[in-house]
Amino acid sequence: MLYRSTRGSSPAVDSAGAVLSGIAPDGGLYLPEALPAFDWRACLQKDTISMAASLLAALLPGIPDMNTLTRRAYLGKFQSDDLTPTVAVGDFTVLELFRGPTSAFKDVALCMLPQLLTASKAVKGIREDILILTATSGDTGKAALEGFRDVPGVKICVFYPDGGVSQVQRAQMVTQEGSNVTVCAVRGNFDDAQTGVKNIFAACQGKALPYRLSSANSINIGRLAPQLTYYFAAYRDLVARGQIQVGERVNFSVPTGNFGDILAGYLAKQLGLPVGTLICASNANNVLTDFIHTGIYDRRRPLLKTQSPSMDILVSSNLERLLALLSGDTELVSGLMAKLNTEGFYQVPGELLEKIQASFFAGCSDDCRGQEVIGRVWREQGYLLDPHTAAGWACAEDYRAKTGDTAPMVVLSTASPYKFPAAVLTAIGQSLSGSEFDQMRQLEDVTGVPIPGNLATLAGKPQRHTAVVEKSEMLPFVLGL
């Protein structure tokens, strides 16, 4: 099985090649040329880590020994080796994706990616070290640092906007331990940091460097593939609880930003898992909601700052993969992406829109609705949602109300409420005082929900990474590593 670019003008590569290069040379994203036959019923019999191994072996053939790689990636790193537990809450089932080492759902993928990268290096006989460069608006940076820390043959450097991440997120990054990690603040906003990283990649093209540059961004198939696992694990849990028989449909509501998480759900469906509707939940930045309703993708609007910052996004990169999967037309996809780039919008043909609407329902929930949902679910169910998960919950309610579809609903929970203590405290009717660390303790006192260990110990850890650079100093900083 080979991987091909969504834009059709790059040569096909094998799994290891796709993982190593991340993005295709023509700017497209890699997709398998055909999805493998997969025994999804047998997969449902397995424990979560073995599920991951069988899914990754099917999706990334040629990368050997997935059993060892998945165990190395996950054993002992999450609160339990079940990785992503499900909890029945009211009418829905919450899939807790935030029980990993940094309390972010990105841990599921970023614990696995280093194993896939180093195994791909071995497959290709590459000797030189890899330097992972990443710009972060908060969660990705910490999850990537933790995933890559002390992985032999790999170094990682994370840039974050100075003053542009929360106190907790900054503390998570600047206290990072590990012999191969660097963290640096950039004077500017997230776009400046991201543009700076892109410029470093461009400046280093074709240069003789002591390492190979790579990224931990969600366009890499090695980040997407590990995310199929928890759709299977959630389905298995519903069967075990007697809520469904194997074969019955389950709907999933997914708080969406870059469209990676929800696309993994669509791929799980393509592999046979009985997924009904995938609910694409946005916040007030509702580009995707409009797109799924009208077929017009239009990023020409201001980016709003919300209480669910990981969903504040105008261009959802992984949507390109869905367009390619559903149309099978690389010429169409590269035309649409070119138009998005030059004019800021595109419209898909009617038949493609119909295919999208057959699998996806779109909704959006602003901060006001999110606050209402967090407060109500806490009062009525005694369960604490974070603002991202609250958007998923709200859109799941909208879907039920609009369609009357009563199939079991799984709401993906993408962050611990302790990552956003101010928004959560306000929603449950508490007044705020002190630092974010004080607010974490206040939230624990009021609710009795324990602070995750990795966040509870943060305030007392030494700050190890205090460098701050101008945008123009990012390249020399990296060359000096």
In angstroms, the CA 157 to CA 170 distance is: 15
Within 8-133, where are the H helices?
15-21, 40-43, 48-59, 66-74, 107-110, 113-124
What H or E segment, with its residue span, contains residue 202? Answer: helix 190-204
Near ligand PLP by CB under 6 A: residue from 164, 257, 417, 452: 257
Rounded (10°) angle between helices 139-148 and 113-124: 50
Among 261, 312, 366, 398, binds ligand PLP (CB under 6 A): 261
CB of 377 to ligand PLP, least distance (A): 17
Locate 171 and state its tokens. Answer: 């503390």
Cβ proximity to ligand PLP: between 311 and 337 the closer is 311
- In the stretch 154-193, what mask flags binding to ligand PLP with x, by CB under 6 A? ----------------------------------------
Give the span between the Cα atoms of 137 and 158, in whole angstroms. Answer: 10
Q: Is 259 in the site for ligand PLP (CB under 6 A)?
A: yes
Dist. CA 460–CA 457, nearest whole Å = 6
Taking the least distance from each CB to ligand PLP, the nearer of 140 and 442 is: 140
Q: Which region, judged by CB under 6 A, interacts with ligand PLP, from 22-30, 101-109, 205-213, 268-276?
A: 101-109
Does 121 sit near ligand PLP (CB under 6 A)?
Answer: no
CB of 227 to ligand PLP, least distance (A): 8
Cβ 25 to ligand PLP shortest distance, Å: 24
103 makes contact with ligand PLP (CB under 6 A):
no
Virtual CA dihedral for 72, 112, 50, 279, nearest 10 degrees? Answer: 160
Site for ligand PLP in 217-256 (CB under 6 A): 218, 255-256
139 binds ligand PLP (CB under 6 A): yes
Choosing from 4, 7, 106, 236, the residue that interacts with ligand PLP (CB under 6 A) is 106
Provide CB contacts within 8 A for 98, sequence distance 6+: 104, 105, 107, 386, 413, 414, 415, 416, 419, 452
d(C-alpha 320, C-alpha 337), whole Å: 8
Decide if 461 is catalytic.
Answer: no
Q: Nearer to ligand PLP by C-beta: 232 or 259?
A: 259
Q: By the criterion CB under 6 A, which residues form the site for ligand PLP?
A: 104-106, 139, 218, 255-261, 310-311, 388, 414-415
| Catalytic center residues | 106
